[in-house]
Structures are given as C-alpha cells and as structure tokens.
Amino acid sequence: MKVRKKEMTKSIITIILISTMLLTLFAGCQSDNGATSKETTDDPKTTASNEKENFNPVGYPIVDEEITVTSMISELPMYLPDDPKDVDTDVLYWKELRKLTNIKVDWEYVEADDTVLNLYFAAGDLPDFFVKSLTPERINEYGIKGGMFLDISDMIYEYMPHLVKTFEKWPDMKKSIVELDGKIYGIPMFRGGTTSTGGIMHYRTDYFEKLGLKVPTTIDEFYDTCVKIKDSGLTEGYAPFCPYYPTLGLSEDFFFPAFGEAYQSGFADDGAGKVVYNKTSDQYRRYLEYLNKLYKAGLMENEYLSLDSNTIQSRVKAGQIVFTGVYSNLLPEDFLDGKMGIGCLAPLVSEYTSAQKILGYSHISVAAGGINKNSKNPEAILRMLDIAYAKDEVVAGTGLDGEALNTGIKGITYEIDEATSTKIYLVPDDKKDMPFYSWLRKYHGWNAHYGVIDNMYFSDDVNAGARERSREASIRPYEKPRLYDNLFKYTEDEKDVMATKMADIDKYVTEMVAKFITGVEPLTNWDNYVSTISKMGIDEILKIKQNGYDRWNK
C-alpha cells in the first residue's frame, strides 16, 4: 500500500512526540522513587566546578562556604573527648581551625590496637584523610599497591608551602615521603624540643644524697652504685635497675654505646656509609655480658620480661626502682626530702671506649596525611594540614601555628616565661586533678603524627619539667644521628624478602637476647648465635638495606 509523503511525515512526528512524552514520564518516575536522583541532580562536572569555586588557593578561610570532610582518630580514650563527634567543639585546636578554615571534620574513633586498625584498613571504607596510623606498611599496601590514596607529590608544592619550607631545614623529611616512583602519599612529622631525646636512664637524686653517692660515669661505677643502693635497703630488696620494656628499648639505647665505638644497636651506618647489623657484633656481645652480670647479681630486675608497665610504675613511685627509662608518675611527696629529685645519667664509658655518645631521637616519622583518592576536597585538606608546619601564626591573633596542633594555643593553653625558658600551662583549677597530658590532649591539642614540634621550652609541670631539664643537660650534648632504615624505600621483591626473613631473624634475636641475659643460654654459644643469623639470611637483608640507604642518599 502506498502512503503519501505528507501523511508519512505526520506519522513520524506523532511517534516522536509520543516517545518523548513516554521518556519524560519514565524519567520522572525514576526521579520520584529515588533510583537515579543523584545522577540527574548532581552532575559530577557541576559539583567539581562548584567545589573549585568555593576553594581559595591562598588566604583564609580556605573555603568560603563551610564543607565537611571525614577522618579517623586512633588514640587512648583518656586523651579524647567522650564522643569523638565533639572534637570540633571540645578540642581547642580543631575548634579554632574550623573557624579559620571553614572546614568541619567528622571524626570516627578506631580503637588503638594494631589488630583492630588492620581490620579497619582492610575493610576499605576509608575517610577523606588521616592524622595518624599510616605506617609505611599501610601506605604501601593501601596507597602504592591498593591505589586508595591520592598521589600528592605535585600538590604539596602548590598547597603546602609551610611543609615545603621545612624541607630546607630537614631534608630527610622529604626523603621519608618520596616513594621509588617519585609519588608521595603521606606527609611527615618532625618532633624536636625538650622531650626529644634518646637513651634515657632516669634516677632518684634523693637516694644519691642520702647515701653520699657520686653519679656514675662508667659501667663499673654503675654496677657499684647499684650494689650500694640495694645493700642500703632503700629499694626494699628489689633490684635498683629495671628496663621499662621487655624488649629493653631505652635501656639498650643507653648501655650499648658504652661497650665500643658504635651507638646504634640494630642496623646502623658504620661511619663510612656501609650498613651493618650490630646485634651480631662483639660490642653487642659485651653489652649482653654486662646485663647478664647485673642480672645474676640481682641488680637488674629478674622478672623484667613479665612485668607490665603499671607494676613498674607502682614500684617507681614506691621507691623500689631507681634506674629506669620512665619517671612520669613521680611527685615531690614521693621523694625522701619532699622535693622533686629526678636525674638523668649521661652516657657511660668503659675500657672499650672513652667517647660519651648516645643514639639520637627518631625525629622523623611518616604516619599521617594520606588523602583518600575519592575525596572531593584534597586541595582544601592539604591547605588545612599545612598549618601544622607553620613556624609562625598563619593569621595574627589565631594562635594557629606548628606548635598548636600538639601543645595548644599560646595565651589560652600556655604562656612563655622567656627568662627561665619555661612553657607555663594554664590548667584551670577544676582540671588540676587530671593527669597533665590527659588535660592537654582532651581539651587543647592532639599528639598527631604530622606537623612540626620544634621548641626548646621546658614544661612548668613539676614532673615533666624536671625530666626535660635533666635530659637536656645529660643526653642532648652526646646525641648522634640515627640511621632511618625504617623509612627507606624498597622494591616489591626486596619487601617480600624482608618480610619473610626479618620476621624470623627478629624473633630469634629477641629470644636469644633474653636467654643470654638471664643465663638460660651461656654466652659461650655466641658464635653459634651469629652463625644461625647468618644462615637465616642476614647478608641478603644487609644488601637490601644498603640498596635502600644508597637510594636515600641520592
């Protein structure tokens, strides 16, 4: 059947009109039931454009209209508001930061436990950014391999001028965050100041005064001093020396340098740019012989492997421990004369070395700053985080600088007495019964793992101030730079070798160190210990460490 052209055109127009009406009706139904409302009303290109218009690349506020971003915090509950959602109203730093930047942070609390944290990261539902908990392993797993973090290698130069400025003073900070492919996923922290000392060995000055003792300067004098203190009965029969950690920690850092020319007990630079493993050295054997001597004489706590921190702190407070790394709970009334008497031993010497030296503090870490690649506001977040690297106030009168993140805001949290180099904290009367750091963290600033802490003021807290001053006098002059082997960058193959071999070596060394000290394993078997570590692949590990060190130095 033939159809005229006019009638055909009319039919086509009718079909198009009907189809258009049906499509419009269908789309309307979809929008009504919510199935595609986001796609039809929130065009990604339009949203991105709006966010860019709201963002200020310089000056403050960072955004004109307030935005909300998400983050997580993993910390002991005693240092946080009762509800993490109240951080923006209860913690002074974050409260003032929100006012200045127009950025509100919604916080999610995650228990400060490695197993819980690993499960949290593995779940993959990550916030916009992090302020801590990003270990190099997590950056590798979720940033490099997982692709979940944003590469900010170019962005930090555009949006983080204060961080970039710190690279000039501490070049290792930049080295610590650049991956092998040149990408950057996290931001670093530099921790300086009066609390940043290593190899600490505190003691009670009141016992020295009562017994007329001189402060020991050699390993033999330390031994004799322990004998005199124990014989006096002041420690009620307990050993005068007790390591604070079962793995020896601060105690190893203190004693090891006294038995030779090296000062870093694990992996270290031999002084000529070569990485060595000092836990198989003769110097380490001499150090263990000495601890075994203290242990057998009852001068070193024989139950050190099983004592928890609360028990140790209780004994410190009761005067039953004299030498240990942590003296944070003592008050003037705990001393014989009612006066704060915390001392700190300077590095000891021996027949093996006449040089006083101690391993320097680990000033640099990488545990924060990762930006979720799906975050809509990475530029704004980076600008906000950059404030923690500022040497001076970013805006006069705000009190927001690099110190504020961790120590609160000058004039509200503390004042400075320049004459005595003392930071005087303004703790209100109704909070003076709280532990000092609980008050500081809960209401003023967090111990976050990014930014710069770099002041040499002493705390006016009677305990903290005494510890800081004793460390500055006895430790700071003798510190030596450490090898940051934990921050070296490795290839995937190198990481695989390290992960398998070092886990076994670390476990074996820890077990054998305990056996050598307690006498379960005689030190006459030292050569077998060294041979076993060799068979476990330490030479291969050293080669990998050297590769990492060479890259670091380039």
Give yes or no: residues 350 and 491 share one domain. Answer: yes
Rounded distance between C-alpha atoms, residue 187 and residue 191, angstroms: 13
Q: Is residue 3 part of a domain?
A: no
Mean pLDDT of the chain: 89
Provide the token pair at 71.
């983050």
pLDDT at position 478: 97
Tokens of 349: 């010497």
Confidence of residue 49 (pLDDT cuts 50, 70, 90): low
**pLDDT for position 198:** 86
Are 370 and 441 in a shared domain?
Answer: yes
Based on the fold, state whether residues 347 and 412 are members of the same structural domain. Answer: no
DSSP state of 350: B
The mean pLDDT of 476-489, rounded to a whole number, is 94
The two tokens of residue 56 are 């200020």
345 and 395 belong to one structural domain: no
User: Which residues share a beta bridge with 275?
Assistant: 269
Whether 162 is covered by a domain: the verdict is yes
Of 267-276, 285-294, 357-366, 527-536, which gets the smallest average pLDDT? 357-366
Whole-number Å distance between alpha carbons of 220 and 214 = 13
For residue 107, give the 3-state DSSP assignment. strand
Integer Cα distance of 402 and 530 in angstroms:
46
User: What is the mean pLDDT of the segment spanning 190-219?
Assistant: 94
Q: How is residue 397 annotated by DSSP? A: T
Q: Which two tokens stand for residue 240?
A: 């005068």
308 and 212 co-located in one domain: yes
Q: Are strands 103-109 and 275-277 parallel, antiparallel or unpaired?
A: unpaired
d(C-alpha 283, C-alpha 276), whole Å: 13
DSSP category for residue 41: H
Residues 401, 527: one domain? Answer: no
Last-in-domain residue among 454, 473, 497? 454
Does 15 map to a domain? no
Residue 247 pLDDT: 77
505 and 442 share a domain?
no
Distance CA 470, CA 213 (A): 18
**Residue in this structure with the two tokens 């601060």, named with its chain if needed:** 250
Query: What amino acid occupies position 28?
Result: G
Neighbouring residues of 533: CB distance < 8 A, sequence distance ≥ 6: 277, 279, 280, 505, 508, 509
Q: What is the pTM of this model?
A: 0.83
Domain annotation covers residue 44:
no
On whether both 336 and 382 belong to a single domain, the answer is no
What's residue 305's pLDDT?
92
Number of H helices, E strands in the chain: 22, 15
Is residue 470 assigned to a domain?
no
Beta bridge partners of 70: 106
Residue 12 CB neighbour total at 10 angstroms: 10
Residue 440 lies in a domain: yes
Lowest-confidence segment of 188-192, 243-247, 305-309, 500-504 by average pLDDT? 243-247
Amino acid at 456: M
Work out the percent of the chain whose per-residue pLDDT is above 70. Answer: 91
Structure confidence at residue 88 (pLDDT): 77
Q: Are 219 and 355 within one domain?
A: yes
Picking from 454, 469, 502, the residue at the C-terminal end of a domain is 454
Tell me what percent of the residues of the chain surpass a pLDDT of 90: 73
Query: How would residue 22 be classed by pLDDT, with cut points 50, 70 and 90?
Result: very low
DSSP reduced 3-state for 158: helix
Task: Please check the confidence at residue 342 and state whether its pLDDT lies above 90.
Answer: yes
Helices within 297-339 (DSSP H only): 309-317
Averaged pLDDT, 18-23: 40
**pLDDT at 356 > cutoff 70:** yes
Determine the Cα–Cα distance for residues 185 and 170; give it in Å rounded to an integer.
Answer: 19
Task: List residues bridging with 106 in a β-sheet.
Answer: 70
- Which has more pLDDT, 241 or 41? 241
Find out whether 214 and 266 touch, Cβ atoms under 8 Å: no
Return d(Cα 513, Cα 521) in angstroms, integer: 9
Domain end call among 454, 469, 499: 454
Considering the domain architecture, whether residues 61 and 184 belong to the same structural domain is answered as yes
Q: Evaluate if residue 23 carries a pLDDT over 80.
A: no
pLDDT confidence of residue 165: 96
Residues 353 and 381 in one domain: no
Give the mean model confidence (pLDDT) for residues 145-156. Answer: 94
CB 78 within 8 A of CB 403: no
How does strand 364-368 pair with strand 422-425?
A: unpaired
Q: Which amino acid is at 342?
A: I
- d(CA 523, CA 519) in angstroms, rounded, equals 8
391 assigned to some structural domain: yes
- Looking at the DSSP assignment, which residues form a beta bridge with residue 366? 188
Please give the tally of structural domains in the chain.
2
Q: Is 371 found in the same domain as 353? A: no
Q: Is residue 464 part of a domain?
A: no
Token representation of residue 410: 């000058």
Q: What is the DSSP letter of 146?
A: T
Domain with residue 538: its CATH number is: 3.40.190.10
Mean pLDDT is lowest, of 38-42, 370-374, 444-448, for: 38-42
Domain with 267, as residue range(s), is 202-359+482-553
Instruction: Give me the pLDDT at residue 50, please.
Output: 58
